Amino acid sequence: MAQKLKFGNGTWATKKGSTLAYNDENNNYKPLPFSFTRDSIATRVNKEGLIEVVGNNKPRIDYKDSAEGVFLLEKASTNLLTHSSELTNSSWVKTNTGTGSAPSITSNYSISPDGTQNADRVIFNLNGGTANGDISQVSVTIGSVSSASYTNSVYIKSNTANNYDLVVTDPSGGHIIKNISTEWQRFDNPRENVTNASFRIRLRGDEGTSDYADVSIWGAQLEQQSFVTSLINTSGSTVQRAADTANGAGNSEVFNDSEGVLFADIAANANDGTERELCINDSSTSNRVAVRYRDSNDDIRAIVRSSGVNTLNVTIGVGSVLLYNKVALKYKVNDFAFWINGFEVATDTSGAAPSGLDVISFNDGSSSDFYGKTKEISYYDEILTDLELEYMTSYRSLNELVTELNLNEL
Partner 1 sequence: MANTLKFGNGEWYGKKDTILAYNDENSNYKPLPFNFSRASKATVINKDGLIEEVGNGQPRIDYKDNSEGALLLEPSRTNLIISSNNLTSQWGGYAFSGGNMSVSYGFLSPDGSNNATRLTYTNTSAGTGGALLTQNLNLIANAVYTISFWAKNVSGQKRIRLDLRNSSSAGVSGTYFELTDKWQKYSHTVTNDNATNRGVQIRIIDSEFAGNRVFDMWGVQLEQASYATSTILTQGSAVTRLAESCSQTTPDGVIGQTEGSIFSEFKSLDDVANIMLWMRKSSGGPYGDMIKLECGADNRLRFEVRASNVTSCSFISDVLPTNIYYKVAVAYKQNDFVMYLNGVQISVDTSGNVPTCSEMYVGKYIDGGIRMGVSKDLKLYNTRLSNSELAALTQM
342 binds partner 1 (CB under 8 A): yes
The rounded distance, in Å, linking the Cα atoms of 317 and 320 is 8
Closer by beta carbon to partner 1, 50 or else 318: 318
- Cβ 209 to partner 1 shortest distance, Å: 9
For residue 184, what is the DSSP state? -
Name residues whose C-beta falls within 8 Å of residue 51's C-beta, 6 or more positions apart in sequence.
43, 44, 45, 112, 113, 114, 115, 219, 231
- Cβ 163 to partner 1 shortest distance, Å: 9
Name residues whose C-beta falls within 8 Å of residue 131's C-beta, 6 or more positions apart in sequence.
98, 99, 205, 206
Tell me the three state secondary structure of residue 363. coil
Contact 54, 44 (CB under 8 A): yes
340 binds partner 1 (CB under 8 A): yes
By rule CB under 8 A, what string of x and - marks binding of each residue 163-192 to partner 1? ----------------x-------------
The rounded distance, in Å, linking the Cα atoms of 265 and 34 is 17
The rounded distance, in Å, linking the Cα atoms of 141 and 17 is 37
- Cβ 306 to partner 1 shortest distance, Å: 26
409 binds partner 1 (CB under 8 A): yes
108 binds partner 1 (CB under 8 A): no
Closer by beta carbon to partner 1, 298 or else 382: 298
Considering only residues 303 through 322, tell me which ones interact with partner 1, judged by CB under 8 A: 317, 319-320, 322
377 binds partner 1 (CB under 8 A): no
- Cβ 385 to partner 1 shortest distance, Å: 13
Closer by beta carbon to partner 1, 111 or else 401: 401
Closer by beta carbon to partner 1, 361 or else 393: 393
The rounded distance, in Å, linking the Cα atoms of 233 and 79 is 8
The rounded distance, in Å, linking the Cα atoms of 10 and 272 is 27
406 binds partner 1 (CB under 8 A): yes
394 binds partner 1 (CB under 8 A): yes
- Count of residues that interact with partner 1, criterion CB under 8 A: 35
- Cβ 295 to partner 1 shortest distance, Å: 18
Q: In the set 345, 360, 383, 384, which binds partner 1 (CB under 8 A)?
A: 345
In 130-238, at which residue ranges do the beta strands (DSSP E only) sit?
135-158, 164-169, 175-180, 185-204, 212-223
Tell me the three state secondary structure of residue 293. strand
Tell me the three state secondary structure of residue 388. helix
The rounded distance, in Å, linking the Cα atoms of 96 and 345 is 58
By rule CB under 8 A, what string of x and - marks binding of each residue 257-286 to partner 1? ------------------------------
The order of strands in the sheet holding 309-317 is 309-317, 299-306, 288-293, 276-281, 359-361
Considering only residues 231 through 260, tell me which ones interact with partner 1, judged by CB under 8 A: none
- Cβ 391 to partner 1 shortest distance, Å: 6
Q: In the set 65, 335, 344, 348, which binds partner 1 (CB under 8 A)?
A: 344
Closer by beta carbon to partner 1, 295 or else 344: 344
Considering only residues 199 through 228, tell me which ones interact with partner 1, judged by CB under 8 A: 205-208
First to last CA, the chain: 39
Site of interaction with partner 1 (CB under 8 A) = 130, 179, 205-208, 298, 317, 319-320, 322-323, 340-345, 390-391, 393-398, 400-402, 405-410
